[in-house]
Structure 1
Amino acid sequence: MTGKGVIIWPSGAKYEGEFSGNYLHGYGTFTTSSGSVYRGGWRLNAQHGIGRKEYSNSDNYEGLWKEGVQEGSGRYSWNNGNTYIGNWKNGKIDGRGVMKWANGDIFDGSWSNGLRHGSGVFRFADGGVYIGTWSRGLKDGKGTFYPSGSKHPSLKKWCSSLNTGDNGSISNSKEHGAKKSRVKRSLSEKVSVSGSSRSSRHITHRTASLDANWNQYDPAQESTHRDSSRALSLTSDEGQSEAPEKITWVYEREYMQGVLIMERTRKYSELSHKKKWQNTFTAQQVKKSSCVDIFGGRQSYYLKLNLQLGIRYTVGKITPVPAREVRSSDFGDRARIRMYFPKEGSQFTPPHRSIDFYWKDYCPMVFRNLREMFKLDAAEYMMSICGDCGLRDITSPGKSGSIFFLSQDDRFVIKTLKKSELKVLLQMLPKYYHHVGNYENTLITKFFGLHRITLRGGKKVRFVVMGNMFCTGLHIHRRYDLKGSSQGRFTNKDKINGNTTLKDLDLTYEFNMDKKLRESLLKQISLDCRFLESQQIIDYSLLLGLHFRAPENLKSLAELSESMQQQENSTPGDDALKQGEQFILPKGLLLVAHEPSSVNTAPGPHIRGNTLRAYSIGDKEVDLLLPGTARLRVQLGVNMPAQANRKLLEDKVEATEVELFEVYDVVLYMGIIDILQEYNLRKKFEHTYKSMHFDPTTISVVEPKLYAERFINFLEQKVFPETP
């Protein structure tokens, strides 16, 4: 069958449209026996391209399809009045999009696997607005709630791709026009494919109804949080006659897996909305540095494209070489691969849209062996960094001015280096290779590649590829950069948001863990610090990520709100709040005997080494069991269970800030980072200068032996103290 035609099946299904090589291929209309109608593009018996489907239950979808499921941008309207406009992946809502419910509530933000996941804005029908983060459909992390009638920042400029109008309607005229033009282009394309015909039952199966998760939103759950704010609204002691409209109260909140654990009441004027929103929701503006000014206005695009081109070439060239032991000649600046990438392409390189550049890959055989040592497949490495999805910009947590990129699957971090840092890494690479080979549980940063880009003018950009220590399916609620020093090691409260990396003096918890796990952790930290000391390295830190589990003793949101009201001496909530839905909360962490067949042993490149043993279950190899998630393998720095106990601080917490719990079950992720700062002459001068103004034991810059001792003692006594 080739050309145009009609097929009618005995079941009553009917197709009218184009064929190619016995396949439904081209443009056509398919009507199922149940009454669903699809009009649009086809490819090998499956919906593919632009199409519109009217389901038998009156649901409608118009947008992009791929191999029979929704993939790309599209609009879905449910028969109950709910509407979604945005991105889809593998038949589920995934990416950026706007959902409008029949009751008038609107969510504009990130989605994953059919659930709200990431940053977003939730606008209630009564005018209230919540700006924050979600994880797997639940509020998770920090956010800000603006009650109905209060002043809140304009949301128009933040809804760039899918806008919500002032009246709450979803505008999609631009997208509809883009879809229309794509339909015209798709209709003009004809592709001939040979093969045999497939049954209509396969086609009907591929057009099955949507997953229930897409429409599982419960307005009562969101309204419970909204109503609690009304009950908690603070009123002036002098009464409301003193122009209350001039004072707008907003609520800075923090959630853990849908449970409200902290709320801070502030005036609208005290918030820095522009900076907070830029750090959380909009495209990250990377800091300008001398090493990337050469790329002009499109610096990020050119740099990422050059990285992908170079890494694809290098890994493809070195992978076919037979594996062998690393030799002394494989180290140093002269052990390298060089290649020129002209824009128009060459005999060895493809044409590209960037600018001409020279590529240098340092110590390729060493890093190839390191990737194999870290159990990283070369094909996975290339697909993660050089795949179609590209790289993402992330904000630098430090003051170095380095540019950071993150692979789309979150497995790798790419960081630009200074020339001095490159030199240090090349010098220490032989010892580093030996150290990570001897200690497979090392917490030191995993390096996977060291490269340099040079333009025709001679300007250079150097960068290193590292493993992302926070590559996990669990949401990281807190991030800490701990050095063991105290001078200046705090973060301005006004600059803290959900993505901020906090410092030593911001740490308000100490972590108690299994005796055997703690012993293994501190032993490896000591070994790693002694190695860095031998290389005259200072200024490194422990990057610590916390995933909190919702407290087990909380029974309902109503009880939570009542408890918070008592602490704030506020009036009790209304009847609607007391009748809030009961929450089914996850239980605490549980250590269980290790079963390799039931554990995902490699969710990220940072995982390597033996399974740890736990004292609490008889010195056996253990895994971590988290209700609601998979069973996780416990290793040094990865999936480590602990209890976070709040420290008693000398400073009193503000009256408007309330944290409801003192002890949390947490999962810890950690590693030693920033290991490329040598204690050189410049650092010695810095130490001398700062010692004249501050206590020498509190400043960060000290000689390597003292730095290592202070770092280890701080972690042993303040962060991971011994359990009585």
Structure 2
Amino acid sequence: MAAPSPGPREVLAPSPEAGRRVATSSSSRGGLLWRLRDKQPRLGLFEIGPGHELHRLTCMMQAGLWAATQVSIDHPLLGPPTEEDFSEVMTQVQEGFELGTLAGPAFAWLRHSLGLAEKDYQASLGPGGPYLQFLSTSKSKASFFLSHDQRFFLKTQRRKEVRALLAHLPRYMQHLRRHPHSLLARLLGVHSLRVARGKKVGEAEAKRPGRRGQLQDEILSSLTPYPCPQKYFIIMQSVFYPASRISERYDIKGCEVSRWVDPAPEGSPLILVLKDLNFQGKTIYLGPQRSWLLRQMELDTAFLRELNVLDYSLLVAFHCLHKDERGPGSSLVLRTARSVQGVQSQDEPGAQNRRLLPEVPNALHILDGPEQRYFLGLVDLATVYGLRKRLEHLWKTLRYPGRTFSTVSPARYARRLYQWVEAHTE
């Protein structure tokens, strides 16, 4: 029998004016000029202004995230997350919608461990500026957004993907504690969003399932007490940040089927994320840091293999370093303590695979070679190798004889992606 759930945690109810402020300030900028500006690409991104089909959705996301982050600001954690923290669901209702925050205290602790101030997180994701729509080359039906400062990446997720992420969350955080310089993308929050019905503005409640075994079902069912439109989305630290000097971006899976993207025309402001076949003939030159990268890929892909997941990607981007940025005497300094504050582990220090980190924002996803700076990160960690994927593997084996495709066993997937990195680095 499940343990009785404690009463609702007292939290700051979201301001009813927050959502109205976003909608009012956005609508006041309407008109022909704004709509035309919204259609112009900005480094492959589009501002989601009035008239955009996703404008109302993103305004609700901004107002909801502002209020959700305010809770963690007003009630900071006093220690590492407990089992109950991983199971908590907080629901906050504003005018016209409600936002669910899943495992909020656990994610707040992870943000703290990365040295990310909650006020900065709130300012980036709140109503301070329009979200940017990211034009993805992915075949999924997900929507992709960036915060206005491009620091955080938001992506809609299916229910089963959210289930997998929540199930893996304790082990994911343990892996980051053991390997603080991991290439895994830093997942910073998981939320639900739905049009609210039957509740008053300003209500807020927190629910904690009783047993860890009930975590996924109770968290997800608690968010759907009545039929209504609903979306799930995740927030993570953008791998491609800061993006101002990035010249090329790639999404690598280590296979060939459906792994080509037609590049943007020369001179076009549109920047696309290219794929494996576009990378042919290129090499990542790392010099002495290559051994670190290979070891970290080995550690991270072994962890993902243990989770029985596949179809994740290695994001790769690069830009040229200026002369004064090259070499250990310029921009590279030993920043281990400051960059990964709070996540160092005293266990197995030899397995942590630490490295020199550049003195830049987002240092954990940046690796400097002799002449170029590389942005690297493993993303899309929620696809489990279940019956559907096994059947897909059999079908693709018949459909693409002798060719490599993404749907293979987690062990083969991990090994193949590691081998791709080994073959494309020097």
1:441-468 superposed Cα distances (whole Å, 9 cap, x missing partner): 0111111111101223511011111101
The verdict on how the C-alpha distance between 1:325 and 1:691 changes in structure 2, with shifts beyond 3 A counting, is same
Match of 2:93 among 324, 329, 340: 340
1:594–1:622 Cα contact (<8 Å) kept: no
1:391-450 superposed Cα distances (whole Å, 9 cap, x missing partner): 222222311121122112221111111111111111111111111121110111111111
Indicate the structure with greater helix content: 2
1:261-287 superposed Cα distances (whole Å, 9 cap, x missing partner): xxxxxxxxxxxxxxxx9666797399x
Tell me which amino acid in the other structure corresponds to 2:286: M
Residue of structure 2 equivalent to 1:640? 368
List aligned pairs for 1:559-598, cutoff 5 A. 589-592=326-329
Aligned mates of 1:477, 1:382 — CA distance in 2:
29
Match of 1:328 among 57, 62, 83: 83
User: Counterpart of 1:716 in 2: which secondary structure?
Assistant: helix
The verdict on how the C-alpha distance between 1:621 and 1:460 changes in structure 2, with shifts beyond 3 A counting, is closer
Match of 1:683 among 369, 372, 389: 389
Aligned mates of 1:596, 1:285 — CA distance in 2:
36
Aligned mates of 1:158, 1:543 — CA distance in 2:
33
Aligned mates of 2:236, 2:389 — CA distance in 1:
25
Match of 2:380 among 666, 674, 696: 674
Tell me which amino acid in the other structure corresponds to 1:691: T
2:146–2:153 Cα contact (<8 Å) kept: yes
Residue of structure 2 equivalent to 1:410? 150
2:44–2:272 Cα contact (<8 Å) kept: no
Match of 1:537 among 309, 325, 329: 309
Root mean square deviation of aligned Cα: 3.5
Aligned mates of 1:592, 1:281 — CA distance in 2:
32
User: Counterpart of 2:121 in 1: which secondary structure?
Assistant: helix
1:388 offset after TM fit, Å? 2.2
1:483–1:539 Cα contact (<8 Å) kept: yes
1:632–1:639 Cα contact (<8 Å) kept: no
Residue of structure 2 equivalent to 1:650? none
Does residue 510 (structure 1) correspond to residue 280 (structure 2)? The answer is no
Does residue 464 (structure 1) correspond to residue 170 (structure 2)? The answer is no
Tell me which amino acid in the other structure corresponds to 1:710: R
Tell me which amino acid in the other structure corresponds to 2:282: Y
Residue of structure 1 equivalent to 2:69? 315
Aligned mates of 2:335, 2:160 — CA distance in 1:
45
Does residue 705 (structure 1) correspond to residue 411 (structure 2)? The answer is yes
2:239–2:376 Cα contact (<8 Å) kept: yes
1:444–1:528 Cα contact (<8 Å) kept: yes
2:47–2:131 Cα contact (<8 Å) kept: no
Aligned mates of 2:395, 2:62 — CA distance in 1:
43
User: Counterpart of 1:475 in 2: which secondary structure?
Assistant: coil
1:593–1:621 Cα contact (<8 Å) kept: no
1:549 offset after TM fit, Å? 4.8
The verdict on how the C-alpha distance between 1:621 and 1:314 changes in structure 2, with shifts beyond 3 A counting, is closer
Tell me which amino acid in the other structure corresponds to 1:319: I
Does residue 384 (structure 1) correspond to residue 124 (structure 2)? The answer is yes
User: Counterpart of 1:451 in 2: which secondary structure?
Assistant: strand
1:389 offset after TM fit, Å? 1.8
Aligned mates of 2:41, 2:130 — CA distance in 1:
21
Aligned mates of 1:594, 1:475 — CA distance in 2:
16
1:487–1:698 Cα contact (<8 Å) kept: yes
1:298 offset after TM fit, Å? 5.5
The verdict on how the C-alpha distance between 1:458 and 1:696 changes in structure 2, with shifts beyond 3 A counting, is farther
User: Counterpart of 2:315 in 1: which secondary structure?
Assistant: strand
1:633–1:639 Cα contact (<8 Å) kept: no
Residue of structure 2 equivalent to 1:661? none
1:597-616 superposed Cα distances (whole Å, 9 cap, x missing partner): 999x77xx99x989xxxxxx
List aligned pairs for 1:53-132, cutoff 5 A. none
Residue of structure 2 equivalent to 1:201? none
Residue of structure 1 equivalent to 2:186? 446
Residue of structure 2 equivalent to 1:284? 46
The verdict on how the C-alpha distance between 1:703 and 1:639 changes in structure 2, with shifts beyond 3 A counting, is closer
Aligned mates of 1:686, 1:639 — CA distance in 2:
36
Does residue 489 (structure 1) correspond to residue 242 (structure 2)? The answer is no
Which moves more between the two structures, 316-325 or 671-680?
Answer: 316-325
Aligned mates of 1:535, 1:710 — CA distance in 2:
17
Residue of structure 2 equivalent to 1:401? 141
User: Counterpart of 1:682 in 2: which secondary structure?
Assistant: helix
User: Counterpart of 1:502 in 2: which secondary structure?
Assistant: strand
Residue of structure 2 equivalent to 1:274? none
User: Counterpart of 2:156 in 1: which secondary structure?
Assistant: strand
List aligned pairs for 1:147-166, cutoff 5 A. 160=36
Residue of structure 2 equivalent to 1:430? 170
1:518 offset after TM fit, Å? 1.0
Aligned mates of 2:361, 2:62 — CA distance in 1:
32
TM-score by structure 1 length?
0.44
User: Counterpart of 1:305 in 2: which secondary structure?
Assistant: helix
The verdict on how the C-alpha distance between 1:426 and 1:597 changes in structure 2, with shifts beyond 3 A counting, is closer
1:279-334 superposed Cα distances (whole Å, 9 cap, x missing partner): 66797399xxxxxxxxx9764221112112221222212333342231222224xx
Does residue 478 (structure 1) correspond to residue 248 (structure 2)? The answer is yes
Aligned mates of 1:330, 1:159 — CA distance in 2:
43
1:228-270 superposed Cα distances (whole Å, 9 cap, x missing partner): xxxxxxxxxxxxxxxxxxxxxxxxxxxxxxxxxxxxxxxxxxx
Aligned mates of 2:97, 2:35 — CA distance in 1:
36
Residue of structure 1 equivalent to 2:208? none
1:696 offset after TM fit, Å? 5.8
Aligned mates of 2:149, 2:362 — CA distance in 1:
22
Aligned mates of 1:367, 1:634 — CA distance in 2:
18
Tell me which amino acid in the other structure corresponds to 1:303: L
Aligned mates of 1:306, 1:392 — CA distance in 2:
15
1:405–1:414 Cα contact (<8 Å) kept: yes
Does residue 694 (structure 1) correspond to residue 404 (structure 2)? The answer is no
1:59-89 superposed Cα distances (whole Å, 9 cap, x missing partner): xxxxxxxxxxxxxxxxxxxxxxxxxxxxxxx
1:396–1:402 Cα contact (<8 Å) kept: no
Residue of structure 2 equivalent to 1:714? 420
The verdict on how the C-alpha distance between 1:635 and 1:458 changes in structure 2, with shifts beyond 3 A counting, is closer
Indicate the structure with greater strand content: 1
The verdict on how the C-alpha distance between 1:486 and 1:418 changes in structure 2, with shifts beyond 3 A counting, is same
Tell me which amino acid in the other structure corresponds to 1:592: G
The size of the alignment, in residue pairs, is 349
List aligned pairs for 1:27-66, cutoff 5 A. none
1:623–1:633 Cα contact (<8 Å) kept: no
1:505-562 superposed Cα distances (whole Å, 9 cap, x missing partner): 11131122222x1111111111111111111110011100110358xxxxxxxxxxxx
Tell me which amino acid in the other structure corresponds to 2:130: G
The verdict on how the C-alpha distance between 1:159 and 1:669 changes in structure 2, with shifts beyond 3 A counting, is same
Match of 2:320 among 532, 548, 551: 548
1:479 offset after TM fit, Å? 0.3
Residue of structure 1 equivalent to 2:4? none
1:446–1:466 Cα contact (<8 Å) kept: yes
Aligned mates of 1:282, 1:715 — CA distance in 2:
27
Tell me which amino acid in the other structure corresponds to 1:518: R
1:593–1:623 Cα contact (<8 Å) kept: no
User: Counterpart of 2:399 in 1: which secondary structure?
Assistant: coil
Tell me which amino acid in the other structure corresponds to 2:163: K
Residue of structure 2 equivalent to 1:365? 105
Aligned mates of 1:639, 1:466 — CA distance in 2:
19
The verdict on how the C-alpha distance between 1:340 and 1:494 changes in structure 2, with shifts beyond 3 A counting, is closer
2:249–2:317 Cα contact (<8 Å) kept: yes
